[in-house]
Structure 1
């Protein structure tokens, strides 16, 4: 513990003039780097990215791909459940016959038109 008479030791974070101040660096820019009208550094090396390029880079991250894959799995499961429910409503012989998705849709169209015909008669 320091006594009141002892001066505080010179600590690098306590100095009034920091290393950056000695270099006259403004807002994180390097000396000679262009600065816009608001005093913010403009990067000479990084090109301005279009909205599409930003989207591509964001989609290239592992976190985004993982989240997208899990959303896609949920969507496919819901899609298959909907086809299974539609399949249960359609009459076929034998009743447990395995149908493809396109066969289910075609059979549903035929069954709906048959039901409309029955109602019209």
Structure 2
């Protein structure tokens, strides 16, 4: 018997694993009649934009797609459609808010240093 070995990338493996988990959960829940609960957990691209909008982040579908392609926001392909988990989006919002606060603090410190230098420079003239 011949063993076939196939190499796949990490992202492709994550996608295959997510799809297999989704299909397994969908099948199990379908057997007990609660398939709709599985569908509600995954967000479509449009639903993800609405979800982020509810969190105070205005983002277009195109920009969200670009962020997923750059692996800045976790996403999955299920049945060839981009899908998101709400908890992944919440984590991204949290991290994004922290980096925005840090950027504002850095900008404020830079302005303060610039003002101090200008003040010191005008005193010497």
Fold match (TM-score > 0.5): no
Query: Which structure exhibits the higher relative contact order, with contacts defined as CA atoms closer than 8 Å and separated by 6 or more residues?
Result: 2
Structure showing the higher helix proportion among its residues: 2
Higher strand share: 2
TM-score (normalised: structure 1): 0.32
Structure with bigger gyration radius: 1
TM-score, L = length of structure 2: 0.31
